[in-house]
């Protein structure tokens, strides 16, 4: 009866309980008798008996409640019910027809004039008016609901002329101006600005998009999402909310994705439903100190109207569903999202920019306008999640995407092929290239890449990749004079330090845009700017004409900050330890000041102590680069710029921090519950520490840090693990002393990631890779290695992209490994042919206990093949063929399995078995005592048959 919007209006966190209760009662009352009765029924369930009697509300009393259930059933199929179930769609249809609908309701006597006035209060947006109208209608009861439905029918048959009305002339010319502004802003890829201009059109490559809620076991892997699905209907979780979140790691392509959407809209090539699109960068909004009204925000920050401003703004207010707002980089906003902010609903009243932004995202301001916001995952808390329409995850490039990007980047196909070959021979680097920003650097530095050969000397770490771009940009300048020698870092020591200081002070102050004055203070010269690490920032609405700069990408800012920490001989000794103890910082406001030591003493402006969402991830990236720069491998490069003992001291500090950090995680592992395995669930920060250890590239350190980990199960589900993280994990975990179950469910490991994991497979007794975008190719490599690993006994690959092409390798595994225990391949694309091949392996296996094929398409033929192969098994305990199109032939073929084996559970839910098939199973169960349950829910049996069969055989579960 209540909608999410109602729910949120009632549960306002900072309002008192009594006030919330009153609002709830008012709301329920306005929704009519049925809702009052349900509220009383709810009271009846929670109140002690003595307090229940005699309660009444609206026209209902607790005494009447006995009939509630029947009445609720009656409600089904009524006009009110139709209004309720189709509500989101009706709101959309109604908002352009409010007046017409009210006229009819008034005319038929369903509404009074004061009802109409209430709906049409000027503070409501058209969508809000539509919702109020629907609420009123429901409170009036069935006749009013019928009148409204009839009205809908009529308007559909004779659409009102206002539907096809063209927007006013001023709005059309404003749209034209906005389109050309947006087009100009999005035409070139911004980060190329400093070095060369590359048009987005030429380089844009589709990234991998996935719905965030694709985590339910019951939900099969959905097809790939396209760019327009970001704004479209697919995956909508909350119809009432307007905000779509696109989340992804730094460099995963969030800004570029928005830029692409903008360009497509500006050219009229996509997003046709939106008449106007307003784009904002949170980085820029952060520097807006003035209080603004929404109107000013739109016109000042996006596009100034030449025509009648009032008319244009009124059009925006009247047609929220035709407007799209985008906000890039919510994590870079100085303040983190909070809904305890002051409520601000008036589009013409001024407020601080964060207040405007939060109210827009919540829907208190400009309800009905679709908003797309991008952010790094860490910055999105539960508060914002409550207001989301849906969340889309951006997971960087697929292997095909990398190929496509490199080919677009290098017009010369021979160069592109050489780069790709070099990447394929260095899969650690290929893994990193799934993150577009790394892919861009690698492509840009192809000469350096091709020059460094294969094997040990080739780039394996993120730090190496960033050193390549550093070298590349320095070389560009040097080549005008001469080429650089081995001491190229020393040659550019001053530049590195100046840019480093700028980067560091910026991170400490959550500042990403710098004025010319700031640059001067840090000693950054015009020549330094020309190198290309800094790019001109689009001027804010500020009246000053001074130039602003930002780093090419946030990761570049972190890299320079790390260079500064490493190269600066005067740095505070506590800088490195403080940088690594990031978690402690969360309890200490003002940490960054302490962490970044003296750098921040000259900080500009007061720093708000509000939670800075981007801070932790940025400092983590910086710490990762610090670890990498202090690696032995880069020592000779830095030694000319920094005394050996200082470098030694800093490296030691890093190693101590990493070791202590990891130990802290190990200490927090809870004692195992009796009868369960000792298990560690990775806490935030664990994967980051592992990545830092990998950057150091010293196997001794990896071994030492892992020596003390004694768990049987390591859970890393939902940890944003991509191929790059897999390289780091395998690098470290291969040193574990005791075998573990490695759980990596719901990440984006992919085939490249699987290959990266191989070095640690020998320490895994089980590998869980559910929902990881793995195809036959990845599985083939995994199994090839798995066969050689004595301890490897279990694998779970639920919800990947497996087909019949991989079943042969599983058959081989089953034949070769007579200690293999569990094979789970649910929710893939295995058919009867694949099951037939699998059966070849099962026939020779003497150890398998669990076989899961839930949600494939093996049909009767496949079930027969599997049953035949397993009929003599003395080990099988659990078999699932749920949802596989198995009919009676399959069920009857499975019956001998029940007779002979050690089987305890047989799952045949959601198939097409009828009485004949079940009779076979019952017969087999008669001579069996080991089976505990045969699951048959969702087959083709009548309720009578179910009842009769359950009585005959209680182990059948329907
Ligand atoms: P994020 O906003 O997630 O930090 P960006 O969108 O700024 O990431 O991407 C960083 C860089 O990676 C871009 O400047 C561009 O060079 C490259 N890039 C990202 N996404 C794409 C894409 N879809 N196609 C081509 N290049 C991309």
Tens digits of residue pLDDT in 620-655: 999 999 999 999 988 888 888 888 999 999 999 999
Ligand 1 within 6 A of 259 CB?
A: no
Tens digits of residue pLDDT in 62-119: 666 655 444 444 444 578 878 877 777 788 788 878 888 898 888 888 888 888 888 8
* 146, 18: one domain: no
Backbone CA torsion sign across 468, 472, 473, 477: positive
Return the exposure string of 374-409: e unless at least 16 CB atoms fall within 10 Å of the residue's CB, then b: bbbbbbbeeebeebbbbbbbbbbbbbebbbbbbbeb
What pLDDT band is residue 152 in, cutting at 50, 70 and 90? Answer: confident
Ligand 1 within 6 A of 126 CB?
A: no
* 261, 235: one domain: yes
Burial of 195 from C-beta contacts in 10 A (0-12 / 13-18 / 19+): middle
Q: How far is the CA of 193 from the centre of ligand 1 (A)?
A: 13
Weakest-pLDDT range from 204-213, 776-785, 852-861: 204-213
Stretch 583-601: mean pLDDT, rounded? 44
Res 607 pLDDT > 60:
no
Ligand 1 within 6 A of 553 CB?
A: yes
Instruction: Identify the pLDDT of residue 524.
Output: 94
Stretch 658-674: mean pLDDT, rounded? 82
* 138, 174: one domain: no
In order of 378, 892, 898, 958, the CA distances from 934 in angstroms are: 44, 13, 10, 9
Rounded Cα gap, residues 166 and 171, in angstroms: 10
Return the exposure string of 261-278: e unless at least 16 CB atoms fall within 10 Å of the residue's CB, then b: bbbbbbeeebbeebbbbb
| Of residues 104, 87, 92, the one with CA closest to residue 138 | 87
Ligand 1 within 6 A of 186 CB?
A: no
Nearest CA, atom 11, ligand 1: 437
Ligand 1 within 6 A of 435 CB?
A: no
Ligand 1 within 6 A of 438 CB?
A: no
Nearest CA, atom 23, ligand 1: 205
Instruction: Identify the pLDDT of residue 617.
Output: 87
What pLDDT band is residue 870 in, cutting at 50, 70 and 90? Answer: very high
Instruction: Identify the pLDDT of residue 68.
Output: 47
| Of residues 793, 751, 752, 797, the one with CA closest to residue 771 | 797
**Helix H or strand E encompassing 686:** helix 686-696
| Of residues 158, 159, 188, 139, the one with CA closest to residue 96 | 159
- Is 111 a domain residue? yes
Instruction: Give the DSSP letter of residue 323.
Output: E
Nearest CA, atom 12, ligand 1: 437
Q: What is the pTM of this model?
A: 0.79
Res 161 pLDDT > 60:
no
- Is 40 a domain residue? yes
Nearest CA, atom 25, ligand 1: 204
In terms of DSSP H, where are the helices of 350-412? 353-362, 382-385, 399-409
Instruction: Identify the pLDDT of residue 191.
Output: 62
Stretch 388-417: mean pLDDT, rounded? 92
SS3 782: helix
Ligand 1 within 6 A of 251 CB?
A: yes
Instruction: Identify the pLDDT of residue 594.
Output: 44
**Encoded tokens for 552:** 């090419």
* 757, 842: one domain: yes
Q: How far is the CA of 395 from the centre of ligand 1 (A)?
A: 11
Q: Which residues contact 26 (CB under 8 A, 6 or more apart)?
A: none
Quick one: how many helices (H) and strands (E) in the chain? Answer: 48, 24
Q: Which atom of ligand 1 is nearest to the CA of 374?
A: 2
- Is 39 a domain residue? yes
Ligand 1 within 6 A of 254 CB?
A: yes
Nearest CA, atom 13, ligand 1: 437
Mean pLDDT (the chain, rounded): 85
| Of residues 369, 438, 364, 433, the one with CA closest to residue 400 | 433
> How many other C-beta atoms can be found within 10 angstroms of the C-beta atom of residue 906?
26
Q: Which atom of ligand 1 is nearest to the CA of 394?
A: 3
Check if the beta carbon of residue 387 is closer than 8 Å to that of residue 397: no
Instruction: Identify the pLDDT of residue 287.
Output: 82
Residue with tokens 């020549």: 527
| Of residues 48, 49, 57, the one with CA closest to residue 28 | 57
Rounded Cα gap, residues 596 and 568, in angstroms: 12
| Of residues 770, 753, 908, 877, the one with CA closest to residue 826 | 770
Residue 379 sits at the vertex; the CA angle it makes with 375 and 383, to the nearest 5 degrees, is: 105
* 241, 148: one domain: no
* 177, 145: one domain: no
**Encoded tokens for 588:** 């200490």
Ligand 1 pocket test, pick from 436, 445, 533, 558 with the greatest ligand atom count within 8 Å of Cβ, gives 436
Ligand 1 within 6 A of 440 CB?
A: yes
Identify the domain boundary among 397, 414, 449: 397
Q: How far is the CA of 59 from the centre of ligand 1 (A)?
A: 60
SS3 316: helix
* 293, 177: one domain: yes
* 253, 366: one domain: yes
Beta bridge partners of 794: 766, 822
- Is 387 a domain residue? yes
Res 604 pLDDT > 60:
no
Rounded Cα gap, residues 112 and 775, in angstroms: 63
Tens digits of residue pLDDT in 844-869: 999 999 999 999 999 999 999 999 99
In order of 563, 572, 690, 699, the CA distances from 641 in angstroms are: 11, 18, 28, 26
Tens digits of residue pLDDT in 889-902: 999 999 999 876 78
Identify the domain boundary among 364, 380, 397: 397
Ligand 1 within 6 A of 571 CB?
A: no
**Encoded tokens for 279:** 């784009």
Per the model's pLDDT, the better-predicted residue between 935 and 641 turns out to be 935
Ligand 1 pocket test, pick from 192, 200, 256 with the greatest ligand atom count within 8 Å of Cβ, gives 256
Ligand 1 within 6 A of 437 CB?
A: yes
- Is 572 a domain residue? no
Tens digits of residue pLDDT in 714-724: 999 989 999 99
- Is 656 a domain residue? no
**Helix H or strand E encompassing 549:** strand 548-551
Pairing mode, if any, of strands 548-551 and 534-536?
antiparallel
Q: How far is the CA of 402 from the centre of ligand 1 (A)?
A: 12
Q: How far is the CA of 201 from the centre of ligand 1 (A)?
A: 13
What pLDDT band is residue 570 in, cutting at 50, 70 and 90? Answer: confident
Residue 148 sits in a domain whose CATH number is 1.10.533
Q: How far is the CA of 376 from the centre of ligand 1 (A)?
A: 13
Q: Which residues contact 648 (CB under 8 A, 6 or more apart)?
A: none
Res 609 pLDDT > 70:
no
Phi/psi at 775 (nearest 5 deg)?
-110, 180
Check if the beta carbon of residue 29 is closer than 8 Å to that of residue 2: no
Domain that holds residue 142: 80-152
Burial of 220 from C-beta contacts in 10 A (0-12 / 13-18 / 19+): middle
Ligand 1 within 6 A of 955 CB?
A: no
Identify the domain boundary among 397, 426, 441: 397
* 131, 272: one domain: no
Ligand 1 pocket test, pick from 188, 191, 196, 253 with the greatest ligand atom count within 8 Å of Cβ, gives 253
Phi/psi at 245 (nearest 5 deg)?
-105, 130
Residue 730 sits in a domain whose CATH number is 3.80.10.10
In order of 553, 662, 761, 788, the CA distances from 736 in angstroms are: 36, 13, 11, 18
Q: How far is the CA of 542 from the centre of ligand 1 (A)?
A: 27
- Is 423 a domain residue? no
Q: How far is the CA of 200 from the centre of ligand 1 (A)?
A: 10
Instruction: Give the DSSP letter of residue 761.
Output: G
Tens digits of residue pLDDT in 178-200: 999 999 888 888 665 455 567 89
Stretch 790-811: mean pLDDT, rounded? 96
Instruction: Identify the pLDDT of residue 67.
Output: 53
Residue with tokens 């002339």: 169
* 203, 262: one domain: yes
Q: How far is the CA of 552 from the centre of ligand 1 (A)?
A: 11
Rounded Cα gap, residues 595 and 749, in angstroms: 34
Res 348 pLDDT > 80:
yes
Residue 883 sits at the vertex; the CA angle it makes with 854 and 836, to the nearest 5 degrees, is: 65
What pLDDT band is residue 346 in, cutting at 50, 70 and 90? Answer: confident
Q: Which atom of ligand 1 is nearest to the CA of 205?
A: 24
Stretch 264-285: mean pLDDT, rounded? 92
Q: What percent of the chain has pLDDT over 90?
A: 48
Instruction: Identify the pLDDT of residue 703.
Output: 93
Weakest-pLDDT range from 307-311, 387-391, 852-856, 897-901: 897-901
**Encoded tokens for 216:** 């339910």
Rounded Cα gap, residues 245 and 535, in angstroms: 27
* 183, 313: one domain: yes
Ligand 1 within 6 A of 360 CB?
A: no
Stretch 232-240: mean pLDDT, rounded? 87
Instruction: Identify the pLDDT of residue 219.
Output: 44
Q: How far is the CA of 934 from the centre of ligand 1 (A)?
A: 52
What pLDDT band is residue 32 in, cutting at 50, 70 and 90? Answer: confident
Phi/psi at 850 (nearest 5 deg)?
-125, 130
Per the model's pLDDT, the better-predicted residue between 547 and 453 turns out to be 547
The total domain count for the chain is 4
Q: How far is the CA of 463 from the centre of ligand 1 (A)?
A: 18
- Is 810 a domain residue? yes
Rounded Cα gap, residues 367 and 124, in angstroms: 9
Ligand 1 within 6 A of 205 CB?
A: yes
| Of residues 585, 522, 587, 526, the one with CA closest to residue 557 | 522
SS3 57: strand
Ligand 1 within 6 A of 617 CB?
A: no
Instruction: Identify the pLDDT of residue 485.
Output: 65
Instruction: Identify the pLDDT of residue 154.
Output: 76
Stretch 781-785: mean pLDDT, rounded? 97
Ligand 1 within 6 A of 255 CB?
A: yes
What pLDDT band is residue 610 in, cutting at 50, 70 and 90? Answer: very low
Rounded Cα gap, residues 5 and 895, in angstroms: 53
Nearest CA, atom 20, ligand 1: 253
Q: How far is the CA of 435 from the centre of ligand 1 (A)?
A: 8
Residue with tokens 């100009």: 184
Instruction: Identify the pLDDT of residue 781.
Output: 97
Q: How far is the CA of 726 from the centre of ligand 1 (A)?
A: 22
Q: How far is the CA of 198 from the centre of ligand 1 (A)?
A: 12
| Of residues 523, 601, 641, 504, the one with CA closest to residue 562 | 504
Per the model's pLDDT, the better-predicted residue between 647 and 605 turns out to be 647
Return the exposure string of 73-82: e unless at least 16 CB atoms fall within 10 Å of the residue's CB, then b: eeeeeebbeb
What pLDDT band is residue 57 in, cutting at 50, 70 and 90? Answer: confident
Nearest CA, atom 26, ligand 1: 204
| Of residues 810, 739, 744, the one with CA closest to residue 771 | 744
Ligand 1 within 6 A of 191 CB?
A: yes
Instruction: Give the DSSP letter of residue 599.
Output: G
Taking only Cα atoms into account, the Rg of the chain, rounded to an integer number of angstroms, comes to 32
* 930, 897: one domain: yes
Q: Which atom of ligand 1 is nearest to the CA of 189?
A: 14
SS3 262: helix
In terms of DSSP H, where are the helices of 410-515? 413-424, 427-432, 436-444, 446-451, 462-478, 488-491, 493-508
Instruction: Identify the pLDDT of residue 339.
Output: 64
């Amino acid at each position: 009866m209540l909608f999410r919007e109602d729910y949120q209006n009632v549960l306002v966190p900072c309002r008192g309980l009594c006030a919330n209760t009153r609002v709830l009662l008012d709301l329920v009352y306005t929704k009519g008798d049925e809702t009052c009765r349900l509220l009383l029924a709810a009271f009846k369930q929670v109140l002690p008996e003595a307090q229940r009697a005699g309660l009444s509300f609206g026209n209902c009393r607790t005494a009447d409640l006995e009939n509630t259930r029947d009445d609720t059933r009656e409600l089904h199929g009524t006009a009110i019910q139709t209004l309720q179930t189709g509500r989101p769609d009706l709101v959309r249809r109604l908002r352009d027809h409010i007046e017409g609908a009210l006229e009819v309701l008034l005319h038929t006597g369903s509404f009074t004039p004061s009802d109409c006035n209430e709906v049409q209060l000027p503070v409501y947006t058209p969508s809000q008016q539509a919702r109020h109208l629907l609420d009123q209608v429901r409170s009036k009861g069935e006749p009013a609901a019928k009148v409204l439905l009839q009205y809908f029918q009529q308007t559909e048959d004779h659409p009102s002329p206002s539907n096809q009305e063209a927007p006013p002339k001023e709005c059309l010319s404003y749209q034209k101006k906005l389109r050309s502004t947006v087009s100009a802003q999005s035409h070139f890829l911004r980060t190329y600005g400093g070095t060369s201009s590359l048009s987005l059109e030429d380089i844009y490559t589709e990234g991998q998009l996935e719905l965030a809620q694709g985590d339910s076991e019951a939900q099969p892997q959905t097809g790939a999402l396209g760019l327009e699905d970001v704004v479209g209907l697919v995956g909508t979780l909350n119809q009432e909310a307007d905000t779509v979140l696109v989340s992804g790691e730094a460099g995963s392509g969030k800004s570029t994705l928005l830029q692409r959407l903008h360009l497509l809209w500006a050219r009229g090539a996509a997003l046709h439903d939106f008449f106007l699109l307003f784009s904002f960068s949170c980085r820029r909004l952060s520097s807006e100190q003035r209080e603004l009204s929404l109107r000013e925000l739109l016109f000042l920050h996006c596009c100034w109207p030449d025509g009648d401003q009032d008319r244009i703004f009124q059009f925006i207010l009247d047609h929220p569903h035709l407007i799209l707002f985008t906000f890039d980089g919510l994590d870079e906003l100085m303040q983190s999202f909070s809904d305890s902010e002051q409520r601000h609903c008036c589009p013409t009243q001024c407020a601080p920019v964060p207040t405007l932004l939060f109210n827009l995202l919540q829907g208190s301001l400009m309800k009905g306008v679709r908003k797309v916001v991008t952010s790094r995952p860490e910055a999105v808390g539960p508060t914002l999640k409550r207001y989301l329409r849906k969340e889309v995850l951006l997971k960087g490039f697929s292997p095909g995407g990398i190929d496509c990007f490199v080919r677009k980047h290098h017009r010369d196909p021979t160069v592109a092929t050489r780069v790709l070959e070099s990447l394929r021979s260095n899969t650690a680097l290929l893994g990193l290239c799934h993150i577009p920003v790394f892919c861009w650097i690698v492509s840009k530095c192809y000469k350096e890449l091709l020059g460094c050969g294969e094997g040990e000397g080739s780039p394996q770490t993120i730090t190496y990749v960033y050193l390549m771009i550093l070298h590349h940009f320095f070389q560009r300048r040097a080549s005008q004079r001469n080429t650089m020698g081995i001491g190229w870092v020393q040659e550019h020591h001053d530049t590195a330090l100046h840019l480093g200081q700028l980067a560091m002070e910026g991170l400490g102050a959550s500042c990403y845009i710098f004025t010319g004055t700031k640059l001067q203070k840090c000693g950054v010269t015009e020549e330094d700017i020309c190198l290309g690490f800094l790019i001109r920032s689009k001027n804010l609405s500020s009246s000053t004409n001074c130039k602003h700069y930002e780093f090419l990408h946030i990761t570049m800012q972190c890299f320079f900050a790390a260079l500064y920490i490493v190269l600066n001989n005067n740095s505070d000794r506590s800088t490195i330890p403080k940088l690594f103890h990031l978690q402690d910082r969360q309890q200490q406001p003002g940490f960054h000041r302490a962490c970044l030591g003296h750098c921040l003493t000259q900080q500009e402006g007061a720093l708000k102590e509000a939670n800075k969402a981007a801070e932790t991830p940025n400092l983590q990236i910086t710490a990762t680069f610090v670890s990498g720069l202090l690696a032995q491998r880069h020592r000779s490069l830095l030694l000319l710029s920094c005394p050996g003992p200082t470098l030694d001291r800093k490296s030691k500090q890093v190693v101590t921090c990493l070791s202590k950090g990891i130990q802290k995680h190990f200490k927090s592992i809870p004692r195992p519950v009796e009868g369960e395995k000792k298990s560690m669930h990775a806490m935030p920060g664990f994967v980051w520490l592992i990545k830092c250890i990998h950057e150091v590239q010293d196997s001794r350190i990896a071994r030492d840090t892992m020596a003390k980990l004694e768990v049987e199960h390591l859970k890393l589900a939902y940890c944003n693990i991509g191929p790059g993280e897999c390289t780091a994990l395998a690098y470290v975990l291969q040193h574990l002393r005791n075998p573990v179950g490695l759980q990596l469910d719901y990440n984006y490991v992919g085939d490249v990631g699987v290959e990266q994991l191989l070095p640690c497979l020998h320490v895994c007794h089980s590998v869980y890779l559910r929902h990881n975008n793995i195809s036959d190719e990845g599985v083939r490599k995994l199994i090839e290695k798995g066969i050689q690993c004595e301890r490897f006994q279990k694998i779970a690959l639920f919800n990947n992209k497996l087909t019949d092409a991989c079943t042969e390798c599983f058959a081989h595994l089953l034949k070769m490994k007579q200690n293999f225990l569990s094979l789970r391949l649910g929710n893939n694309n295995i058919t009867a042919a694949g099951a037939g091949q699998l059966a070849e392996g099962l026939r020779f296996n003497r150890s398998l206990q669990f076989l899961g094929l839930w949600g494939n398409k093996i049909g009767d033929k496949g079930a027969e093949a599997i049953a035949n192969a397993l009929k003599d098994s003395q080990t099988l305990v659990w078999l699932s063929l749920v949802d596989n199109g198995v009919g009676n032939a399959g069920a009857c073929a499975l019956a001998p399995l029940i007779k002979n084996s050690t089987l305890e559970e047989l799952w045949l839910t959601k198939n097409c078995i009828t009485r004949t098939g079940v009779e076979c199973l019952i017969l087999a169960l008669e001579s069996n005592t080991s089976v505990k349950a045969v699951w048959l829910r969702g087959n083709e049996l009548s309720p009578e048959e179910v009842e009769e069969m359950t009585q005959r055989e209680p182990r059948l579960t329907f």
